[in-house]
Amino acid sequence: MSSRDDILARVRKNQPPPQPLPAVPTFDADIDSPLDRFKGAVLRMGGKVADPPADGDLDALIGRLFPDAKVVCSATPEVTGNRPIADARAPADLDDVDVGVVRALFGVAETGSVWLTEAEFRVNTLGFLAQHLVVLLDPSRIVANLHHAYHERAQFDARYGVFMTGPSATADIEGVLIHGAQGIRTLTVVPIAPLPN
């Protein structure tokens, strides 16, 4: 008997009497402003929020936020940067990126998370090898809580998808919180609707 069949047979034999599967409510609560709730949660998780530029010039905004950045690599056509992501032949090529830019599909007010998949990153390591990440988010695409987030069922057909919430972090030594553990050191959300077209 293969290990597979052996394990499944033993599991079947030992399963306790069947229990029903409960329905899960979405726990809707009245939220005055999902955007304000979202911003508060981002800050709590160590992230930052930047107001969208009045003149719409996102490249200039990134220049102001990261004056020392040498390599800016954008996965969204809304920001030009100076390193075309199409030039990356292998995931490791993004190791020298100072600032990565990406547009998220939606945000979660409860936790301050943004949802990103391989389609937005184009190269997944953009969100992890870059020192800093700037995330554009349509303020009208913020859901109340994680139940609603997981009801965006089609999103989970992506090969890879991630809820990113603030920068990478660790508190493994004496509980001292460090932002910038192994991945991005800062995460800045810019609430801005995508350009029409």
At residue 106, what is the residue type? F
User: Quick one: 61 or 168, whose CB is closer to other proteins?
Assistant: 168
Reading the block at residue 129, the tokens are 């090898």
Number of Cβ within 10 Å of residue 46's Cβ equals 18
Reading the block at residue 38, the tokens are 């979202």
- Which range in 20-28, 56-64, 68-76, 77-85 contacts other proteins by CB under 8 A? 20-28
Q: Using an 8 Å Cβ cutoff, are 69 and 98 in contact? A: yes
Task: Tell whether residue 119 is a contact of other proteins (CB under 8 A).
Answer: no
Measured distance CA(105)–CA(138) in Å, rounded: 8
Write out the binding residues for other proteins, residues 49-88 only, by CB under 8 A: none
Binds other proteins by CB under 8 A, chosen from 74, 111, 186, 188:
111
Output the smallest distance, CB 49 to other proteins, in A: 16
Task: Tell whether residue 28 is a contact of other proteins (CB under 8 A).
Answer: no
3-state secondary structure of 131: coil
Binds other proteins by CB under 8 A, chosen from 55, 68, 87, 172:
172
User: Quick one: 80 or 160, whose CB is closer to other proteins?
Assistant: 160
User: Quick one: 15 or 197, whose CB is closer to other proteins?
Assistant: 15
Residues 6+ apart with CB under 8 A from 28: 144
